[in-house]
């Protein structure tokens, strides 16, 4: 029921459209109840042996009145259809918006084992099913119940004996609906799961099409996608097979009522208990009696589909973020000084091994601190704790004396810029991607940021300059060009804290020099945390922190650490011997020399 309540919460906002839908549908019910009565009147008129010349005029008036009510029926159907869809698609849009905003709230930990295609399927495909519930199922259920009650009342006034006999199949239909709902909803839910898996596989393969081609995996990957297609097809056919059994069953039970009426109705006419015109009208009303019953059985399919989708959406909305704002979180106003303190910080992902243990680290305002060490020792994790992408498990992390858990996420992250090894650029223009850091920036600020990032020259050489579309994830640009756009974005953001995660890896020497020059300009006046694999790139950092097994093994300047002859000295010697020296960071601030 929670899934239905989540939908109805949005339905309330579109009461006017739903009221118009209900009024028009009630009008349609009245027209449907009136039509057989007009036929009965016409039959009585033409079969009356005492009818005179005025009989033709009566028939003409009946025909004209019938024309008017059918015109009115057309208008009512338009209002019913359009108003219902207005409400339905508005609800779908609201639910999609709520799901997306909720996804934004969820922590990075949530996304670690989730596929993008699955989340997209829940946001788009599952929410689509709610339109059937709002625009069709709910109005149809209410109106068909009204029609059922109205027709039953008319039948009882005409012949209570035949009315009771006609009701015999209805309990059987209700039992069939209850029985099939036990099997149909899980089947439709399974169908939605398989659709999500198919979307996820397609998203992965389309995103990785270069790798598929490079490793000549077209055949095996096509087979994998075909397997997903078949599984979705089979799950869909299983659900449809259940409904294919259900609908004929309802039709058969409804036909039992007609069989009963043929015998007992004919018998009553022969015995003079009912007029032939009344029996004709009764047959027409009987069709109206079973019409809502059959309609409800069809609506039942939409309801089961919608509930299956609503349940999956509700499951997603029930996920709570691991990182969230505390009640009474403080807004960090102004520009942060950049004083960052780690105190006895330990961290692990879920229930796994500890990634960081008892880390104590002071980062002074305006300083450059480098995190180095072997792969997998927690360098990136340590840096990503600062913008609260993850929360410390024990200990505390403060910014300018504030525990970052006591700050609003927006004000905290507004103080931080990131330039990561894996740059993400959006499908759009160069201008849009740079302005992503600060959309309200002026043209001069945009150009200045591009110049600082050593990006303006290559941007000008693009076919349409700053208006050039760069493709999904910036596929039309080289790695170095993407990196410089990311730096321009960070420059434009102008945050007092900067996190650089392997920002110069996997580029040629000339491009690396351009990026290093851009980073040197970017770091001026900012508290900077640099994650580096090549130690020669951080020799001039104010402080070098060496991590090993999730702990701080050493920290100091390059000269101090080399003099100690510990892990940093060993790693430095290994890289020098293997030729992994790279380019040094230019002298910055009061950093120690090499």
Bridge partners of residue 497, in order along the sequence: 416, 527
Mean pLDDT (whole number) for 158-177: 75
| Euclidean distance between CA atoms 187 and 181, whole angstroms | 10
Taking CA atoms, 148 is separated from 29, 144, 286, 399, 416, in Å, by 9, 6, 10, 68, 64
Q: Helix 54-105 vs helix 15-47: angle between axes, to the nearest 10 degrees?
A: 160
pLDDT for 5 equals 67
pLDDT band of residue 322 (cuts 50, 70, 90) is: confident
Residue 290 has phi, psi (to 5 degrees) of -85, -15
H or E element at residue 579: none
Least confident of 63-77, 364-378, 547-561: 63-77
Percent helix, percent strand, percent coil in the chain, to nearest 5: 65, 10, 25
Helix (H) or strand (E) holding 289: helix 276-317
What pLDDT score was predicted for residue 509? 64
The alpha-helical segments, DSSP class H, found in 333-418 are 379-384, 409-413
Q: How distant, in Å, are the alpha carbons of 23, 32, 76, 133, 238 from that of 79?
A: 9, 17, 5, 18, 36
pTM higher than the cut 0.75? no
**Closest by CA position to 336, among listed 237, 413, 441, 449:** 413
Band (365; pLDDT cuts 50, 70, 90): very high
HSE at residue 135, side-chain half, CA atoms within 13 A, is: 19
By percentage, how much of the chain surpasses pLDDT 70? 89
Q: Alpha carbon 126 to chain centroid distance? A: 9
The phi, psi pair for 455, rounded to 5°, reads: -110, -20
> Kind and range of the H or E element at 415?
none
Q: Using one digit for the tens of pLDDT, what is the confidence trace for 411-452?
A: 998 898 888 777 788 888 889 888 987 888 899 989 988 888
CB neighbours of residue 50 within 10 Å: 5
Token digits of residue 183? 């099997």
Question: With contact defined as beta carbons under 8 Å apart, do 487 and 445 qualify?
Answer: no
pLDDT of amino acid 369: 92
- Set out the domains of the chain in order of their start, with CATH numbers: 2-317 (1.20.1560.10)
Provide the CA 592 distance to its chain's centre, in angstroms.
49
Q: CA 509, 510, 516, 522: dihedral to nearest 10 degrees?
A: -150
Over 73-89, what HEC string results?
HHHHHHHHHHHHHHHHH
What pLDDT band is residue 344 in, cutting at 50, 70 and 90? Answer: very high
Q: Is the pLDDT of residue 363 over 90?
A: yes
pLDDT at 404: 92
Kindly write down the DSSP assignment for every residue of 78-137, as one continuous string: HHHHHHHHHHHHHHHHHHHHHHHHHHHHS-HHHHTT--HHHHHHIIIIIHHHHHHIIIII
CA distance 69 to 11: 31
Per DSSP, 469 falls in state: B
**pLDDT for position 504:** 61
463-469 average pLDDT score: 90
What are 409-412's contacts with CB under 8 Å, separation 24+?
Answer: 409/323, 409/324, 409/325, 409/329, 411/330, 411/331, 411/332, 411/333, 412/332, 412/387, 412/388
Query: Which tens digits make up the pLDDT trace of 581-590?
Result: 443 444 444 3
- Calculate mean pLDDT across residues 286-313: 72
pLDDT (0 to 100) of residue 346 = 93
Asked whether the beta carbons of 267 and 318 are under 8 A apart, the reply is no
Residue 244 pLDDT exceeds 80: no
């Amino acid at each position: 029921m929670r899934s239905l309540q989540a939908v109805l919460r949005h339905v309330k906002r579109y009461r006017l459209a739903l009221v118009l839908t209900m009024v028009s549908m009630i009008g349609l019910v009245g027209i449907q109840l009136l039509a057989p009565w007009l036929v009965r009147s016409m039959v009585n008129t033409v079969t009356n042996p005492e009818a005179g010349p005025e009989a033709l005029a009566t028939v003409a008036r009946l025909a004209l009145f019938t024309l008017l009510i059918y015109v009115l029926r057309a208008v009512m159907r338009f209002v019913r259809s359009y108003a219902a869809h207005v409400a339905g698609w508005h609800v779908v849009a609201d639910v999609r918006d709520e799901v997306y905003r909720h996804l934004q709230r969820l922590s990075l930990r949530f996304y670690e084992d989730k596929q993008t295609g699955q989340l997209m399927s829940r946001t788009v495909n599952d929410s689509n099913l709610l339109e059937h519930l709002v625009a069709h199922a709910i109005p149809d259920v209410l109106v068909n119940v009204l029609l059922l009650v109205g027709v039953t009342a008319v039948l009882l006034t005409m012949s209570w004996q035949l009315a009771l006999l006609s009701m015999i199949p209805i309990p059987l239909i209700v039992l069939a609906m209850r029985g099939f709902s036990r099997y149909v909803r899980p089947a439709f839910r399974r169908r939605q799961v398989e659709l999500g898996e198919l979307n996820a596989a397609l998203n992965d393969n389309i995103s990785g099409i270069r790798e598929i081609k490079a490793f000549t995996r077209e055949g095996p990957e096509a087979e994998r996608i075909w397997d997903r297609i078949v599984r979705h097809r089979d799950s869909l056919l299983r659900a449809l097979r259940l409904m294919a059994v259900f609908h004929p069953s309802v039709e058969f039970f409804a036909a039992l009522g007609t069989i009963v009426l043929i015998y007992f109705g004919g018998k009553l006419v022969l015995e003079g208990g009912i007029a032939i015109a009344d029996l004709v009208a009764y047959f027409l009303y009987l069709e109206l009696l079973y019409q809502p019953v059959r309609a409800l059985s069809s609506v039942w399919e939409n309801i089961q589909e919608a509930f299956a989708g609503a349940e999956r959406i509700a499951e997603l909305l029930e996920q709570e973020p691991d990182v969230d704002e505390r009640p009474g979180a403080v807004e960090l106003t102004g520009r942060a000084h950049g004083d960052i303190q780690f105190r006895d910080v330990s961290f692990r992902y879920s229930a796994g091994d500890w990634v960081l243990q008892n880390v104590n680290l002071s980062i002074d305002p305006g300083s450059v601190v480098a995190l180095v060490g072997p792969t997998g020792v927690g360098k990136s994790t340590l840096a990503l704790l600062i913008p609260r992408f993850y929360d410390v498990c024990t200990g505390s992390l403060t910014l300018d004396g504030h525990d970052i858990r006591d700050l609003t996420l927006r004000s905290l992250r507004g103080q931080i810029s990131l330039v990561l090894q894996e740059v993400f650029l959006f499908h759009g223009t160069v201008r849009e991607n740079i302005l992503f850091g600060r959309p309200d920036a002026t043209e001069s600020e945009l150009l200045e940021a591009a110049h600082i990032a050593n990006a303006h020259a290559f941007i000008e050489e693009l076919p349409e300059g700053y208006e050039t579309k760069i493709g999904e994830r910036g596929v039309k640009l080289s790695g170095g060009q993407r990196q410089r756009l990311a730096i321009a974005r960070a420059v434009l953001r102008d945050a007092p804290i900067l996190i650089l995660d392997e920002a110069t890896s996997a580029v040629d020497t000339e491009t690396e020099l351009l990026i290093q020059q851009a980073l040197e300009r970017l770091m001026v006046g900012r508290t900077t945390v640099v994650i580096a694999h090549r130690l020669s790139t951080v020799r001039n950092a104010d402080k070098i922190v060496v991590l090993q097994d999730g702990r701080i093994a050493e920290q100091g300047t390059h000269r101090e650490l080399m003099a100690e002859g510990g892990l940093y000295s060993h790693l430095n010697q290994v890289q020098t011997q293997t030729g992994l020296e790279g380019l040094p960071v230019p002298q910055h601030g009061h950093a120690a020399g090499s």
